[in-house]
Structure 1
Amino acid sequence: MAPLLPTSVGGMSFDEGALPQRGVPIMLRRLTKFKSMDFELAFWQLTYLVVAPRRVYKQTYHHKQTKNVWARDDPAMLILIAGCLAVAAAVWGYVHDYTWLGMLGLVLKMVFRDFILFSLGIALLFWATANRLLVSTTGVSAITDNRVEFAYAFDVAVNSFFPAFLTTYVALLPLAALVVRNNWICLLLGNTLFLIAGFQYIYVTYLGYAALPFVARSELFLAPLLPLFGGYLLSLLGFNIARTTLELYFGQSWH
């Protein structure tokens, strides 16, 4: 029988205007403690992020009541996603005839730049936005608890990254030779993949903040869908997003 889904994403708390003092350091300290990591639970989380992302956040409030934290302190999901990125980088490197050293550089770029740094940047942006503009001071017992934890914002960014990763890093791989061709059908296919990835990222992000009872107007996190879809329609006039992205990423031009 499949294990129960995690009751939340867990971590830490902090005062307004200050970054968390214990959630991220705890996770960093546990990076080498593989025996204490729940990889099976993290795997099921990743699965549901793809097939039913709402279920991942369903019991977040219960987790807060029992552990007094919103964000996870188990780095198992980080390690699993980093491992998936490393495998994807190795395959992309092989396809593009990278040397072993070049392949290692590609792994580091995908894991640390594309995943970790990007997720930290998005988490910081949405953490600040939510705490400044969207947090309600009514309806929860303690006002000091009505703050979005930075570690939770990072968890949401990590969760949002995984479905988009499957669409752009994995699904794009067998289609790479097709989407770079100079015809409208191939342009439509490649651009639609990036539209789907953008939708997945925005929707999972919205679910993460909507799960917090003190975040009002969480639907504002869906606002990027409008420019995303507008940009997609404009791109169909002749801008191949997939080919441009691959050319910039791998420094190779297709004509």
Structure 2
Amino acid sequence: MLPVTHTTAPAGGGGSKRHRSGRYSLFVLWVRRLFKPKQMDFQYTLWTMLQLCISPKTAYRHASYHKQTKNHWARDDPAFVVLCAALVAATATAYCLAFGNGVGRSMLFIVSAVAVDFLALGCGIATLGWGLANRALRRKAQHSHAVEQSVEWMYAFDVHCNAFFPAFLLLAVLQLVLCPVLLTNTFLSTVLSAALWALGLSYYCYLTFLGYSALPFLERTELFLYPIALVVVAAPLAILAGINPTKVALRFWFDYK
């Protein structure tokens, strides 16, 4: 999941083979640990989650230490994904208890929240970031013998998961807590809902920017901040139009009226 460093390969593609081998080995290790909970470091993962909320630069500083000690940027521990999936499932269950109508539809919503909203959508976003970083943001080599580096897909997925966690706390957990206020038919509820969604989406973009800017071989990573400008413009327009994002989300999820 991290950028893998490899020198320009001679004829025969030896460097490329080593690159693929290292990437495959990391993925196999990640999958093996997924089925061995005792090998997951949940304590460190919880610390990382806390840092992503209060000091995200500290969290990515430790990613650099990981690169120095294990020679890859991506996490080889699936604990972060496991905890996020559990949090998504638990929060989806809470929403179903509050707004759901039927056991079958509620079960479908919970599975969809984990499999589609978190994993599938996350893989899609990670793929877009991975492609953009490798195709447009890598620094050009200064000479023909310079070390070539690239962003591995697994690291791009790590970046998404890191950005997803605080945004999810804001747009799902905190929103659920504030629903009695956000669902009232008042101008204040519309302002608070729009501000909450603007903050959550903006923080997601910011953490995504930090994730890619932590890689020393990338440049112009501020591109990942550009969507914040759209959020800043969209939020006041939504308020003026009387659009409450919380009501829109619940209407999409549960046909809330």
Q: How does 1:129-148 map to 2 (within 5 A)?
A: 129-138=132-141, 142-144=146-148, 146-148=149-151
| AA at the equivalent of 1:129 | L
Q: What's the CA shift string for 1:90-131, capped at 9, x where partnerless?
A: 111111244443332222111111111111111000100011
Measured in 2, the distance between the counterparts of 1:156 and 1:149 equals 11
Measured in 1, the distance between the counterparts of 2:189 and 2:134 equals 42
Instruction: Give the equivalent residue in structure 1 for 2:11.
Output: none
Instruction: Give the equivalent residue in structure 2 for 1:117.
Output: 120
Instruction: Give the equivalent residue in structure 1 for 2:66.
Output: 63
Measured in 1, the distance between the counterparts of 2:48 and 2:68 equals 20
Deviation at 1:234, TM superposition (A): 1.1
Relative to structure 1, is the Cα distance of residues 138 and 70 closer, same or farther in structure 2, using a 3 angstrom cutoff? Answer: same
The correspondence for 1:243, drawn from 228, 232, 247, is 247
CA contact (8 A) 1:130 1:215 kept: yes
SS, match of residue 34 in structure 2: coil
Identify the range of structure 1 (176-185 vs 113-122) with the bigger mean alpha-carbon deviation.
176-185
CA contact (8 A) 1:23 1:151 kept: no
Relative to structure 1, is the Cα distance of residues 22 and 250 closer, same or farther in structure 2, using a 3 angstrom cutoff? Answer: farther
CA contact (8 A) 2:247 2:256 kept: no
Give the TM-score normalised by structure 1: 0.87
| AA at the equivalent of 2:248 | T
For the pair shown, the structure with the greater C-alpha radius of gyration is 2
How many residue pairs align between the two structures? 240
Measured in 2, the distance between the counterparts of 1:11 and 1:130 equals 12
Deviation at 1:251, TM superposition (A): 1.6
Q: What's the CA shift string for 1:181-212, capped at 9, x where partnerless?
A: 33211100111110011111001101101110
Instruction: Give the equivalent residue in structure 2 for 1:89.
Output: 92
Give the TM-score normalised by structure 2: 0.86
CA contact (8 A) 1:13 1:23 kept: no
CA contact (8 A) 1:53 1:204 kept: yes
Q: What's the CA shift string for 1:117-171, capped at 9, x where partnerless?
A: 1111110001000111111134798533x20111000000010000010001100
| AA at the equivalent of 1:36 | Q
Which structure ranks higher in relative contact order (CA pairs < 8 Å, sequence separation ≥ 6)?
A: 2
Higher helix share: 2
Deviation at 1:222, TM superposition (A): 0.9
Measured in 1, the distance between the counterparts of 2:43 and 2:63 equals 19
